[in-house]
A and B are shown apart, each in its own frame.
Chain A
Amino acid sequence: MTPPPFLVLDGLSKRFGGHTVLDGVALAVGRGEVLALLGPSGSGKTTLLRLLAGFETPDAGRILVDGERLDPLPPARRNVGMVFQHYALFPHLSVGENVAFGLRLPRAEAAARVAAALASVDLPGFEDRRVGEISGGQQQRVALARALAPEPRLLLLDEPLSNLDPSLRERTRRELRRALARVGITTVLVTHEQEEAFHLGDRVAVLGGGRLHQVGTPEELYERPATRFVAGFVGRASVLPGTFAGAERVRIEAGEGEVFWVGEETAEGLAPGEAVELLVRPESLELRPARGPDALSGRVVERRYAGQGTYYTVALANGWEVEVLSGPHAAAAGETVHVGPRADASLPRIFRREAA
């Protein structure tokens, strides 16, 4: 069950010059929910965040928080906290002064609030430190404390972990997730890393080319991607062109006669004979010892060991490549193999083929 919407984006569009960066994005976020905006660079996710913060004004559409219009307000009057990608801590102010900046309270009260905010990010007593003398991870937490101290209605995080060493990233991510859960604030965060989005977001919104492709839980996105873009961007998948044969069946012609695979339809009203694409996860395929009626033959061109499994890239007779997840000793590079769908795995997704 989704909670009643607290933040509503209603048909947001933004153009820079002649270039459309956001195209009619509509989205609802529940109170206390953490929404991750996931997309490649240039997808418009940062622009969306800047529209929420008020640093850009939309060309069309509305932003509502708790039923109130947010978009006509200047940034300073939105009561929206933001953690910037490079933190944007004021270099000439101490840690305490940074956190106190957004508080318009009597001195003693402000000091108490600053102390509490710093304690909540595990930096008690850091008030008098200079911004330049604390580590990157600590700066990130100060930025979070500064954004949260004025008790904003909404928290925005712009690539919150991208500025950290990979070794620090996972730990900071866990800490961030716990802090967000503890505060219970409605949060929108932007990231281009799927793992980060899946871990931090209650739901994930996938943006591509300025359009919102799908919003859902990580499971939904992975198991039932709504568009070919989502299927390709979230998780690994191979693309097999084919022809729709009706009744969820796709005919694949990989150079050695017809093979029919069963998939799950995503587009309405596919007609038999229509050009489609089949998106298949590596774990939905298996390597078979012998050629069967539903197997494609090919040669292993690459074998990539990844701990819990091994990925085999198989080149089919006509040159297409598919990726298969299997055991570490399933095949050797150069070996001829046969690839077929696993019976116990989720079905490949069928998308209507877009004209190139």
Chain B
Amino acid sequence: MTRRRALTLAAAALAVLLAWLVGWPLLVTFGEALGGPGGWTLAHLRAFAARPDEWLALWRSLWTSAASVALAAAVGVPLGFAFERADFPGRRFLGAAAALPVALPPLVGVIAFLFLFGESGFATRAVQAALGLAAPPWRLAGPGAILLVHTYSFYVFFYLFTRAALARMDGSLLEAAASLGAGRLRTLWHVTLPLLRPALSTAALLTFMTALASFSAPYLFGGSFRVMTTQIVASKLNGDDALAQVETVTLAALALLGLAAMRRADRRAERVTGTRGVPPRRRRLAGPARWAVGGLAVLAAAFLLLPHAVLVLLSFVPPFTWTAEPFPPVLDLGNWRTLFSSAERLRPIANSLWMATAATAAALALGLAAALVARRRGGRLATLLEGLLAVPWALPGTVFAVALAVAMSVNAPWQGRFLLIGTPLILPLAYLVRGLPLTGRAALAGLRQLDPALEEAAASLGAGTFRRLRRITLPLLRPAVAAGAALAFVTALGDFVTSIVLYTFETRPIAIEILSGLRLQELGLAAAYGVLLMAASAGAFALRGEGREL
């Protein structure tokens, strides 16, 4: 009984702390959006609703997100089928490479595209030179550019979910369909696709919400084509706080709707995919089909790896040496030397490193504690804790950035508000909130997979609560939690969306430095920073892969 009471206390304390971190800034923002000098007012809301460009931004957010889902599915699903159902040379390596964009910080993907397809990008110049054109054949701007980047970044969701669902599928179902006389198309249409539906709808929602939250691509390519996230930041930077608050609340409401839909889809998916049996067999392709599919997959993988390669190459191009040539004439280590020899250039790296480390450590401790307590305590408090861990995952970074900026702009400790804006603490705090779902959900998932009999066995062998935690639970959770922490670290290290709202010059992180590199035409330096983030992401992704094997 006392153990239960201690757990309840711990759960309540954690719930209060998480609510303060995750929920309170949003509530304060909501309150301010409805508040005025004379008490409650709908004036801000009315002003918002009266402006046509707000409605336009909302509409653009929705339709680009929907289009992103369709495009990402069109690329990701066939790719998932090809890699899971067919066997061809290089399948394993290319299959892993195709999942790379999942851990790439959005800003890095965007600048890689800029260097590849932008006005003076490699591909653009190559086509221009080949066709002898006077002007670049296209401009990387507007909704088309945004959708291109979204497709490239988000097809991974469809790709991974399709592959996972196909791998899980009971092969005897396909054999049963065949024995009942169904051909390949009929089986695909009546058996495989219906079974994939939960996975695909989850991927679709995930893509939709990520697209809704996307900031880097619309910010760099959108120009006057504003979506909600860029609209919010523009209002905030223009000093129109009230408008920014209403916009933030609107976007948050949209995202929470998405989260609710997602949870329902999740539950449905759990119900459907409970079968086990023979793993489906991979079709060994022979003759021309083998080479055709193999060749296509190689091409696709090359296309996917091209932005990464371009980024690396560009980091070796000295400033202002590459003008009209299709390929840079000079390559040297100058950018890298500058980056590592000047204290001012190293500053953003040091900033990002310490802020990401501190935020990840805190997110790890909090997420792990909340998951452990929730799992053991059960009941409504556990549901609350799990919900609080999931909220920042569903809400766009822009929403949190603005909410933190609003809530932490005054010193009112009795209201749970502290003056943190402009201090070095605000960014780590923002990163912590964004990292919580990654560490917390990883810990929850790991705990769910843990056989309760293992802990019982340890208890029956005389191990008390802490020895069980130290010797059994934590070591077994390590792969899952390490993967979650690595993702949280990389997300914080490359964060752009919250940083642009909350940074100060002293605490400027890598992403902000990349942006200023672009503005100052120091493309090589920006690329070098990007390569660093890319390398960190690849490392985290390798860890993530290990965690999944558990």
Contacts and interface: CB of A to CB of B under 8 A. Distances in A.
Nearest to B467: A76
A74 B461 contact: no
Contacts of A147: 460-461
A204 B456 CA distance: 26
B458 A101 contact: yes
Contact of A88 (B451, B464, B471, B475): B451
A156 B139 CA distance: 74
A88 B454 contact: yes
B324 interface: no
Interface stretch (A79-87, A281-289, A292-300, A302-310): A79-87
Contacts of A54: 459-460
A53 B463 contact: no
A74 B462 contact: no
A107 interface: no
B453 A146 contact: no
B475 A75 contact: no
A62 interface: no
A79 B461 CA distance: 7
B289 interface: no
Interface residues of A, number: 27
Nearest to A74: B459
Interface in A47-88: 53-55, 74-82, 84-86, 88
Interface in B347-398: none
Contacts of B461: 81, 101-102, 146-147, 150
A353 to B, nearest CB: 42
B123 interface: no
B503 to A, nearest CB: 41
B472 interface: yes
Contacts of B453: 84-86, 88
A329 interface: no
A200 B471 CA distance: 34
Contacts of B471: 101
A82 B460 contact: yes
B456 A53 contact: yes
B456 A104 contact: no
A91 interface: yes
Contacts of B451: 86, 88
Contact of B456 (A79, A88, A91, A92): A88
B448 to A, nearest CB: 16
Nearest to B478: A92
Q: How large is the interface on B (under 10, 10 to 19, 20 to 34, 35 or more residues)?
A: 10 to 19
Contacts of B464: 74, 76
Interface in B467-501: 471-472, 475-476
B272 interface: no
Interface string A131-164: 0000000000000001100100000100000000
B457 interface: yes
Interface in B423-469: 451, 453-454, 456-464
Contact of A150 (B459, B462, B476): B462
Grouping DSSP codes into helix (H, G, I), strand (E, B) and loop, the B interface class, with mixed when no group exceeds half, is helix
Nearest to A80: B460
Contacts of A53: 456, 460
A90 interface: yes
A84 B458 contact: no
Contact of A92 (B459, B462, B463, B475): B475
Contacts of A101: 458, 461, 463, 471
B434 to A, nearest CB: 30
Contacts of B460: 53-54, 75-76, 78, 80-82, 147, 156
A55 B458 CA distance: 12
Interface string A157-180: 000000000000000000000000
B457 A77 contact: no
Contacts of B463: 76, 101-102
Interface string A308-340: 000000000000000000000000000000000
Report which residue of B457, B464, B471, B476 has the largest number of chain A beta carbons within 10 angstroms of its beta carbon: B457
Contacts of A75: 456, 459-460
Contacts of B476: 90-92
Contacts of A102: 461-463
Most buried by A among B453, B458, B459, B462: B462
Interface in B223-274: none
B479 to A, nearest CB: 10
Contacts of A146: 457, 461
A77 B1 CA distance: 17
Contacts of A76: 459-460, 462-464
A90 to B, nearest CB: 6
A206 to B, nearest CB: 26
B547 to A, nearest CB: 14
Contacts of B475: 92
A76 B468 CA distance: 10
B341 to A, nearest CB: 45
A85 B454 CA distance: 11
A156 B453 CA distance: 14
A55 B457 CA distance: 10
A81 B460 CA distance: 6
A162 to B, nearest CB: 14
Contacts of A80: 460
A79 B462 CA distance: 7
B457 A84 contact: yes
B472 A90 contact: yes
A89 to B, nearest CB: 8
Nearest to A99: B461
Contacts of B472: 90
A220 to B, nearest CB: 32
Contacts of A74: 459, 464
B469 to A, nearest CB: 12
Contacts of A89: 457
A19 to B, nearest CB: 18
B457 A90 contact: yes
Contacts of A82: 456-457, 460
Nearest to B476: A92
A76 B453 CA distance: 14
Residue among B461, B471, B476 with the most chain A CB within 10 A? B461
Interface in A103-132: 104
Nearest to A81: B460
A219 to B, nearest CB: 33
Which of A74, A75, A102 is the most central at the interface, judged by chain B CB atoms within 10 Å of its CB?
A75
A76 B457 CA distance: 9
Contacts of A156: 460
Contacts of A77: 462
A104 B462 contact: yes
A91 B456 CA distance: 14
A146 B456 CA distance: 13
Nearest to B479: A92
A238 B476 CA distance: 52
Contact of B454 (A90, A104, A150): A90
A293 B476 CA distance: 72
Q: Which 10 pairs between the two chains have the least Cβ-Cβ distance?
A: A102-B461, A88-B453, A75-B459, A88-B457, A82-B460, A84-B453, A76-B459, A92-B475, A88-B454, A76-B464
20 contacts: A54-B460, A55-B456, A55-B459, A75-B456, A76-B459, A76-B460, A79-B462, A81-B460, A84-B456, A84-B457, A88-B451, A88-B454, A90-B454, A90-B472, A101-B458, A101-B461, A101-B463, A104-B462, A147-B461, A150-B462
Interface of A: 53-55, 74-82, 84-86, 88-92, 101-102, 104, 146-147, 150, 156
Interface of B: 451, 453-454, 456-464, 471-472, 475-476
Given A74-B459, A86-B453, A102-B461, 17 more contacts: A53-B456, A53-B460, A74-B464, A75-B456, A77-B462, A78-B460, A80-B460, A81-B461, A82-B456, A82-B457, A84-B457, A89-B457, A90-B457, A102-B462, A104-B462, A147-B460, A156-B460
